[in-house]
């Protein structure tokens, strides 16, 4: 039995499916943890999280097992033991597990009890739940391991306490969303209050498809006080020291507390990390985007430059006869401030060619949104041609307000491989643009000064698909639209509830219908960074054929 324990928290960035690479990341973190007795890693670190249907492949689970056995063999060198997350087969069943690797072997296997099956999570589909876990003994100390979701319920921690656990170690794959930091801390504090045990909460840091993981790991003492806090949005391997108190309980030695951060910075950093890992882990050369002179493309370009560096961002201006001189100037201003390449491709010839091609069929039918969509699709075709030829991924620039109500063109401005604004309402686009012009986020590869001319932020938004067009020709003012959308999407309110909350009845019912009618477009949209609790995609799944819209 020991009276002192040093536990390293490995807040690292794994890649889903890259088992050999993840094993090397585990080894690298172990090398950084000199002096530690034990290194704690995130949930499913060997497979990456979430592995989804990869765990249904026996060959994949075989590779995970081989990597775990090799890591276990490493621990025969007398260095730190490891607590590693992995998908694991026991008696023909797949489990989300933590493995204790020590003294050259796998010493213990702990299984996750509560499998989340809501929002972005569908672990019930691929894993079997384990029984209520018991503590494992390491250096004479009984360690309880509630795995991620297990911490959100009282029964696992209480069972571990009843079985003699002395410290709770919580490995996580907890995705970022707004205001989730407080929720994590409050749940952890509740488990501490119920058991009287200190707790270490470890989260990974990475981007994975739509999800981003923000880190922010922390340690609570037995009174619920924060004894240590790791930074958000960056990797870190931190040594935490623990001492046995006179009464026999354990206490963490207080350490550095990483500072908090403001809401807009959190959103911006989530967008940066999501894009950086999506591009890097998929091995794209860089990104390509249409730079219109408007605020959405300007902010998308800024995020791309901060994530990837100016040399990996290629902007293309695609003017039509309706593009204003101000838009041309503003697009050039964005490219200049961000330091990116800017080319111009006139889509006028494409518009005329399509007009001539359709003329025999359109006949005397007057111009309408069809011609506007042809412009958007000409731009999509241009960007995809450049992408195919040169290997840059097209970054779409539509925001959540537009995607909510269908103010976007299939195979036009929706054309591309990824979107950083997909879960960002238009009013937040304005706020983020002002914030980025005044702040350079930590770790950004872009400029220290402004990233867009002030006029980009202050001028009325316009798609510029016909003369003197503004977004408010078609949509309610964005302040009204976004407020109603938040009620309908984030809070799942019915139109009559939105009206009762004080919103205009005509606007509430109109937006509700637009929201439901646009579901077929959202099904064909590229992935994008999840920011809110109800992002389009895995968070919010509605049928396309939906008669419920007729009730309002």
Residues annotated as catalytic (active site), given as ranges: 43, 112, 148
- Residue 125: CB atoms within 10 Å: 12
Residue 339, by phi and psi: left (phi above 0), alpha (psi -120 to 50) or beta?
left
Q: Where are the beta strands (DSSP E) in 268-410?
A: 287-290, 313-317, 341-344, 393-396
Helices 426-438 and 295-308: crossing angle in degrees, nearest 10, is: 50
Q: Which residues does 186 contact at the CB level (< 8 Å), separation at least 6?
A: none
Query: β-strands 236-244, 250-252: how paired?
Result: antiparallel
Q: What kind and span of H or E run contains 60? A: helix 58-74
With both helix axes pointing from N to C terminus, report the angle between 180-195 and 154-162 in degrees, rounded to the nearest 10: 30
* Cβ–Cβ < 8 Å for 64, 87: yes
Residue 487 DSSP code: I
Strands (E), 276-378: 287-290, 313-317, 341-344
- Angle at alpha carbon of residue 216, lines to 215 and 217, rounded to 5°: 95
Integer Cα distance of 202 and 228 in angstroms: 11
Of 236, 173, 206, the C-alpha closest to 39 is: 236
| Residue 179 CA to its chain's centroid (Å) | 14
Give dist(CA 83, CA 106) in Å, integer. 10
Asked if 73 contacts 51 with a C-beta cutoff of 8 angstroms, the reply is no
- Using DSSP's 3-state secondary structure scheme, residue 388 falls into helix
**Are the C-beta atoms of 296 and 397 separated by less than 8 Å?**
yes
* 250-252 β-sheet, strand order: 105-111, 93-102, 81-90, 38-40, 4-11, 236-244, 250-252
CA distances from 281 to 14, 185, 206, 273, 284 (A): 10, 30, 10, 12, 8
Contact 177, 168 (CB under 8 A): no
Q: What is the DSSP string of 104-167?
A: TEEEEEEE--PPP-STT--GGGT-PPPPSP--EEETTEEEE---GGGGGSHHHHHHHHHTT--E
Instruction: Please state, in angstroms and rounded to a whole number, the distance separating the CA atoms of residues 424 and 437.
Output: 18
What sign does the CA torsion over 26, 32, 34, 36 have? negative
């Amino acid at each position: 039995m020991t009276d002192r324990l040093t536990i390293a928290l490995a807040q690292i960035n794994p890649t889903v499916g890259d088992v050999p690479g993840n094993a090397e990341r585990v080894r690298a973190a172990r090398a950084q943890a000199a002096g530690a007795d034990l290194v704690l890693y995130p949930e499913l670190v060997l497979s990456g999280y979430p592995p989804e249907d990869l765990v249904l492949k026996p060959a994949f689970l075989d590779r995970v097992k081989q990597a775990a056995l090799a890591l276990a063999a490493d621990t025969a060198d007398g260095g730190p033991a490891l607590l590693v997350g992995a998908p694991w087969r026991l008696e023909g069943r797949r489990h989300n597990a933590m493995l204790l690797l020590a003294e050259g072997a796998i010493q213990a296997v702990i299984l996750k009890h509560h499998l989340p099956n809501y929002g972005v999570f569908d672990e019930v589909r691929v894993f079997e739940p384990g029984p209520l876990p018991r503590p494992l003994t390491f250096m004479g100390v009984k360690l309880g391991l509630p795995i991620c979701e297990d911490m959100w319920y009282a029964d696992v921690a209480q069972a571990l306490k009843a079985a003699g656990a002395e410290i709770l170690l919580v490995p996580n794959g907890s995705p970022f969303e707004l205001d989730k930091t407080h929720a994590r801390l409050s749940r952890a504090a509740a488990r501490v209050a119920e058991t009287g045990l200190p707790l270490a909460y470890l989260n990974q840091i990475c981007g994975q498809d739509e999800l981003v993981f923000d880190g922010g790991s922390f340690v609570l003492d037995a009174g619920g006080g924060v004894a240590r806090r790791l930074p958000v949005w960056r990797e870190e391997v931190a040594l935490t020291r623990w001492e046995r108190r006179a009464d026999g309980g354990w206490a963490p030695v207080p350490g550095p507390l990483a500072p908090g951060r403001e809401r807009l910075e959190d959103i911006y950093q989530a967008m940066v990390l999501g894009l950086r890992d999506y591009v890097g882990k998929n091995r794209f050369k860089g990104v390509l985007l249409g730079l219109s002179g408007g605020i959405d493309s300007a902010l998308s370009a800024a995020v791309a430059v901060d994530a990837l560096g100016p040399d990996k961002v290629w902007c293309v201006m695609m003017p039509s006869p309706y593009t204003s001189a101000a838009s041309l100037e503003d697009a050039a201003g964005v490219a200049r401030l961000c330091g990116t390449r800017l080319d111009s491709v006139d889509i006028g010839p494409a518009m005329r060619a399509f007009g001539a091609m359709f003329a025999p069929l359109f006949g005397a039918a007057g111009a309408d949104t069809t011609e506007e969509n042809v412009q958007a699709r000409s731009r999509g075709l241009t960007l995809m041609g450049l992408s195919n030829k040169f290997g840059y991924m097209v970054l779409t620039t539509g925001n959540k307000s537009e995607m909510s109500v269908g103010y976007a063109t299939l195979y036009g401005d929706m054309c591309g491989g990824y979107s950083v604004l997909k879960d960002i309402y238009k009013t937040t686009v304005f706020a983020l643009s002002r914030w980025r012009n005044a702040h350079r986020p930590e770790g950004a590869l872009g400029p220290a000064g402004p990233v867009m001319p002030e006029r980009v932020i202050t001028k009325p938004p316009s798609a510029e698909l016909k003369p003197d067009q503004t977004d408010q020709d078609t949509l309610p003012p964005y302040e009204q639209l976004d407020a109603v959308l938040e009620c309908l999407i984030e809070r799942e309110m019915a139109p009559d509830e939105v009206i009762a909350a004080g919103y205009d009845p005509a606007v509430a019912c109109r937006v509700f219908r637009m929201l439901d009618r646009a579901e077929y477009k959202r099904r064909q949209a590229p992935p994008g960074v999840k920011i809110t609790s109800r992002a389009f995609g895995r968070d919010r799944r509605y049928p396309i054929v939906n008669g419920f819209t007729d009730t309002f």
